[in-house]
């Protein structure tokens, strides 16, 4: 037997004090296999040991919550006996090492989480972060990730309907790939990942187990360095066809009622599935690894238990009904094999050809994993970063120059290069086409629809993690509301650096506090999510990037709208106040190379009122278009309203709200602050002239400022500030440069 010494512990990512705890829980020295189980289950990725104390503060309950955090995915009631099942998950580290497979298997993993609950997946979204497209490495990663996201989703036939992509050098060495999957289930059809009933057989089904992905969870819990490329064997290879078979077979087999519990084998593979199912069910489990189908010869129990081969499921079946289950899998040419059974007690017992090779209390691997209240310290540079003196930046560029430039910033430009590679029409539920702010899918067999958006702004969170996280929740919910959806549930993906550094931990703590504050104010329960830490390369952390996914309910799927203007002659109204806030804006970053200041202020009561108002306006048929105002401010928002509209232009006079005075905005900056400031809680709507009074009255009732700023029509975007026309562009040209920006960059034509 191998001696467990300091080197072995380090290779397993287990700290000396953690080993002491293992000795205590085991009551003896673990063997190497047992140590391996602890290594993966206690990894940051599986145990959430650094984030758990913070995550506990999030609101997770509400009248619509069918399933909160702790299961494979969350679920909320959408009426008619149905629920929306959804979760977001990251695959950041694998996507850096091997972009195509890393992204593809990320998609595969989250799809399994959804159908494992008994829900049919109907939509995928993703939030992606890459380095600047000026860098060949970033282009290669972007190209691979997009192909991988599409390759998996397209094959299995789940439409990728939306998402967001941001490019910033802060992600050059550490891209983010966060994928959200949404499914639909009958509420009474939800199946959970708990084992029950001693004597019930445990079945394994799906792909064979290979040596791929061993210690993937541990890899995802460490920083990158120059040796990261050597970790390529820890990235798994996806097989979407196998997943398709598994999905159809599992959904079919669950209708038999013979499946008592089911769990996919994702991170930490068989180790996680066996210990979590036993732990959740308060029972033990015994398996013999010789029954596990193996792709390679000579695999050790250690390798079998720690493999992260994709497309595998573990099921607990009611004894005596095995044939019902195997018959369904046979139909799909899958072989379900019994690998063990549920036992009394609470231990996980692993055998190799009948010989006991590991015997661990399963709660020791799951609930008893270490929980750290890691030290938190506001970074020394934080206050300095929040200082912004516009005057010190020199003379601002002309509004026209800034407008032209911002439309071709890849973060703002159309993402059609990416979504043109995603099948978004399969399933015949996609109402809003990709490229709109929120994705909208209908629910077949019901009048309802679901709007979904994923949002996050790393720059804001870097400047002020609490406020930045609140703004992420607000924006995701506002996008959903702009499609007519009432936000009913959320999921979060926390992407941060090394939690062992107090300033990173402070960012995480502040961000979670912000998510909690905003979710409570907006009535959005968080039903699950994912934490990805150690997003650092050679000691340089990414921007702290919490990504929020929000699901909204449309009671009537036909009552929705998009950002695009619908006809000439409509009145353009801005809901909310334009405070000219340039802190952390895309404008500052692009035109002045500066990331500084405070992110825009957020009044949560105002935000809630604005969202309620827009939902009522859309349901009442009073507005023809609605578009949330975010990166690039009002000018970019108005331009985007003219894009994909068939050439409906706009003429508008933009002003700052009177509360914003010359004290905060120097006179020379007035136009750019008014046009490109990113004040929160604002929505641009267009309404037919005959409905304007009703819109304004509804806004007044809601206590939301509403300013008539102009009219649709013509074939230009003409924006004036203080009576001077400062932006005047032909839509055709502006739209062309916006729409083709990314494909030009990807084909080697810079700008």
Instruction: Report the C-alpha gap between 146 and 139 in whole angstroms.
Output: 11
Minimum distance, C-beta of residue 332 to other proteins, in the bound complex (Å): 6
Helix (H/G/I), strand (E/B), else coil: 249: helix
Q: Kindly indicate which of the ranges 425-433, 483-491, 561-569, 701-709 contains the residues binding other proteins, using the contact rule CB under 8 A.
A: 425-433
Binding track over 523-562 against other proteins, x by CB under 8 A: ----------------------------------xx----
Instruction: Report the C-alpha gap between 731 and 573 in whole angstroms.
Output: 20
Q: What angle do CA 185, 186, 189 make, to 5 degrees?
A: 90
Instruction: Report the C-alpha gap between 515 and 54 in whole angstroms.
Output: 11
Interaction of residue 425 with other proteins, rule CB under 8 A? yes
Instruction: Report the C-alpha gap between 547 and 538 in whole angstroms.
Output: 23
Choosing from 12, 54, 91, 93, which is the catalytic residue? 91
Number of residues that make up the chain: 751
Interaction of residue 245 with other proteins, rule CB under 8 A? yes
Residue 91 catalytic?
A: yes
Residue 398 phi/psi, 5-degree rounding, is -65, 150
Interaction of residue 486 with other proteins, rule CB under 8 A? no
- Continuous segment of H or E residues that includes residue 529: strand 526-532
Task: Identify whether the C-beta of residue 420 lies closer than 8 Å to the C-beta of residue 434.
Answer: no
Query: 731-746 and 136-156 are packed helices; what angle lies between their axes, rounded to 10 degrees?
Result: 100
List beta partners, residue 484: none
Residue 145 phi/psi, 5-degree rounding, is -65, -45
Nearer to other proteins, 62 or 647 (CB): 647
Site for other proteins in 442-481 (CB under 8 A): 442, 444
Minimum distance, C-beta of residue 149 to other proteins, in the bound complex (Å): 11
Q: Which two tokens stand for residue 5?
A: 């010494």
Q: Which of 30, 68, 109, 151 binds other proteins (CB under 8 A)?
A: 151
Q: Kindly indicate which of the ranges 126-134, 299-307, 328-336, 524-532 contains the residues binding other proteins, using the contact rule CB under 8 A.
A: 328-336
Instruction: Report the C-alpha gap between 692 and 328 in whole angstroms.
Output: 58
Helix (H/G/I), strand (E/B), else coil: 121: strand
Interaction of residue 203 with other proteins, rule CB under 8 A? no
Minimum distance, C-beta of residue 253 to other proteins, in the bound complex (Å): 15
Interaction of residue 513 with other proteins, rule CB under 8 A? no
Which distant-in-sequence residues (6+ apart) come within 8 Å of 514 by Cβ?
Answer: 465, 466, 467, 468, 469, 470, 473, 546
Minimum distance, C-beta of residue 443 to other proteins, in the bound complex (Å): 13
Interaction of residue 396 with other proteins, rule CB under 8 A? no
Minimum distance, C-beta of residue 329 to other proteins, in the bound complex (Å): 12
Q: Which of 248, 318, 500, 653 binds other proteins (CB under 8 A)?
A: 248
Interaction of residue 422 with other proteins, rule CB under 8 A? yes
Minimum distance, C-beta of residue 428 to other proteins, in the bound complex (Å): 5
Residue 45 catalytic?
A: yes
List beta partners, residue 575: 683, 706
Interaction of residue 147 with other proteins, rule CB under 8 A? yes
Interaction of residue 87 with other proteins, rule CB under 8 A? no
Nearer to other proteins, 429 or 712 (CB): 429
Task: Identify whether the C-beta of residue 710 lies closer than 8 Å to the C-beta of residue 650.
Answer: yes
Q: Which of 431, 595, 614, 635 binds other proteins (CB under 8 A)?
A: 431
Task: Identify whether the C-beta of residue 716 lies closer than 8 Å to the C-beta of residue 574.
Answer: no
Interaction of residue 239 with other proteins, rule CB under 8 A? yes
Task: Identify whether the C-beta of residue 153 lies closer than 8 Å to the C-beta of residue 159.
Answer: yes
Q: Which of 79, 197, 420, 447 binds other proteins (CB under 8 A)?
A: 420
Minimum distance, C-beta of residue 561 to other proteins, in the bound complex (Å): 13
Interaction of residue 736 with other proteins, rule CB under 8 A? no
Residue 467 phi/psi, 5-degree rounding, is -70, -40
CB atoms closer than 10 angstroms to residue 380: 8
Q: Which of 371, 426, 446, 692 binds other proteins (CB under 8 A)?
A: 426
Minimum distance, C-beta of residue 244 to other proteins, in the bound complex (Å): 5
C-alpha gyration radius of the chain: 26
Choosing from 45, 93, 215, 351, which is the catalytic residue? 45
Q: Kindly indicate which of the ranges 149-157, 260-268, 304-312, 565-573 contains the residues binding other proteins, using the contact rule CB under 8 A.
A: 149-157
Interaction of residue 104 with other proteins, rule CB under 8 A? no
- Continuous segment of H or E residues that includes residue 125: strand 120-130
Q: Which of 157, 282, 620, 646 binds other proteins (CB under 8 A)?
A: 157
Site for other proteins in 338-377 (CB under 8 A): none
Nearer to other proteins, 244 or 405 (CB): 244
Interaction of residue 424 with other proteins, rule CB under 8 A? yes
- Continuous segment of H or E residues that includes residue 586: helix 586-592
Nearer to other proteins, 296 or 556 (CB): 556
Instruction: Report the C-alpha gap between 90 and 498 in whole angstroms.
Output: 16
Residue closest to 455 by CA, chosen among 407, 489, 492:
492
Minimum distance, C-beta of residue 420 to other proteins, in the bound complex (Å): 6
Instruction: Report the C-alpha gap between 2 and 398 in whole angstroms.
Output: 70
Active site residues: 45, 91
Residues that bind other proteins (CB under 8 A): 147, 150-151, 154-157, 239-242, 244-245, 248, 331-333, 419-431, 433, 442, 444, 557-558
């Amino acid at each position: 037997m191998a001696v467990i010494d300091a080197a072995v512990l380090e290779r397993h990512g287990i700290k000396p004090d953690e080993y002491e705890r293992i000795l205590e829980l085991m009551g003896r020295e673990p063997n190497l296999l047992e140590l391996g189980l602890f290594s993966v289950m206690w990894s940051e990725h599986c145990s959430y040991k650094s984030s758990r104390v913070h995550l506990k503060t999030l609101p997770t309950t509400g009248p619509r919550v069918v399933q909160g955090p702790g299961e494979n995915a969350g679920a909320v009631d959408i009426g008619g006996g149905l629920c929306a099942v959804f979760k977001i998950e990251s695959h950041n580290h694998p996507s850096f090492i091997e972009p195509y497979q890393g992204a593809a298997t990320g998609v595969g993993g989250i799809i399994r989480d959804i159908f494992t609950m008994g829900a049919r997946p109907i939509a995928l979204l993703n939030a992606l972060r890459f380095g600047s497209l000026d860098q060949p490495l970033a282009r290669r990663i972007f190209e691979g990730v997009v192909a991988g996201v599409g390759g998996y989703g397209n094959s299995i036939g789940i439409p990728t309907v939306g998402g967001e992509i941001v490019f910033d050098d802060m992600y050059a060495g550490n891209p983010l790939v966060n994928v959200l999957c949404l499914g639909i289930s009958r509420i009474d059809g939800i199946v959970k990942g708990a084992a029950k009933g001693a004597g019930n057989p445990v079945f394994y089904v799906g792909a064979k187990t290979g040596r791929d992905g061993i210690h993937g969870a541990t890899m995802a819990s460490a920083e990158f360095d120059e040796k990261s490329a050597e970790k390529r064997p820890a990235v798994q290879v996806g097989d979407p066809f196998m997943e398709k078979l598994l999905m159809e077979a599992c959904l079919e087999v669950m209708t038999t009622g013979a499946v008592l519990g089911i769990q996919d084998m994702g991170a930490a593979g068989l180790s996680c599935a066996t210990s979590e199912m036993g732990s959740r069910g308060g029972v033990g489990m015994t398996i013999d690894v010789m029954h596990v189908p193996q792709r390679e010869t000579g695999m050790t129990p250690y390798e079998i238990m720690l493999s992260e081969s994709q497309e595998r499921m573990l099921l607990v079946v009611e004894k005596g009904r095995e044939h019902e289950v195997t018959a369904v899998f046979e139909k799909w040419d899958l072989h379900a094999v019994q690998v063990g059974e549920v036992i009394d007690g609470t231990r996980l017992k692993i055998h190799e050809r009948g010989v006991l090779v590991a015997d661990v209390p399963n709660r020791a691997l799951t609930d008893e994993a270490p929980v750290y209240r890691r030290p938190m310290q506001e970074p020394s540079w934080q206050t300095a970063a929040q200082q912004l003196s516009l005057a010190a930046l020199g003379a601002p560029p002309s509004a026209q120059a800034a407008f032209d430039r911002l439309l071709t910033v890849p973060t703002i430009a159309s993402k059609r290069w990416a979504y043109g590679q995603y099948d978004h029409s399969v399933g015949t539920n996609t109402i809003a086409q990709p490229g709109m702010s929120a994705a909208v899918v209908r629910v077949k067999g019901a009048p309802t629809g679901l709007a979904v958006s994923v949002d996050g702004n790393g720059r804001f969170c870097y400047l002020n993690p609490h406020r930045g996280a609140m703004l992420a929740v607000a924006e995701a919910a506002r996008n959903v509301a702009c499609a007519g959806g009432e936000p009913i549930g959320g999921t979060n993906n926390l992407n941060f650096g090394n939690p062992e550094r107090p300033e990173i931990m402070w960012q995480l703590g502040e961000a979670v506090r912000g998510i909690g504050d905003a979710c409570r104010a907006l009535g959005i329960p968080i039903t699950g999510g994912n934490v990805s830490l150690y997003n650092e390369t050679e000691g340089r952390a990414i921007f702290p990037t919490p990504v929020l996914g929000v699901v909204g309910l449309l009671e009537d799927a036909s009552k929705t709208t998009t950002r695009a203007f619908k006809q000439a002659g409509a009145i353009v109204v801005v809901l909310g106040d334009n405070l000219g806030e340039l802190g952390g804006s895309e404008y500052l970053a692009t035109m002045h190379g500066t990331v500084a200041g405070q992110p825009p202020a957020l009044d949560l009561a105002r935000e809630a009122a604005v969202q309620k108002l827009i939902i009522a306006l859309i349901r009442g048929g009073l507005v023809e278009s609605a578009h949330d105002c975010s990166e690039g401010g009002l000018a970019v928002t108005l331009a985007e309203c003219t894009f994909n509209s068939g050439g409906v232009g706009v003429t508008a006079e933009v002003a700052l709200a009177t509360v914003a005075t010359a004290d905060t905005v120097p006179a020379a900056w007035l136009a750019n602050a008014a046009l490109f400031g990113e004040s929160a809680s604002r929505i641009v709507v267009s309404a037919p002239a005959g409905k304007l009074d009703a819109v304004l009255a509804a806004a007044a009732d809601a206590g939301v400022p509403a300013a008539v700023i102009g009219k649709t029509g013509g074939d230009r975007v003409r924006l004036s500030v203080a009576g001077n026309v400062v932006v005047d562009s032909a839509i055709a040209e502006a739209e062309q440069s916006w729409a083709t920006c990314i494909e030009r960059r990807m084909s080697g034509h810079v700008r």
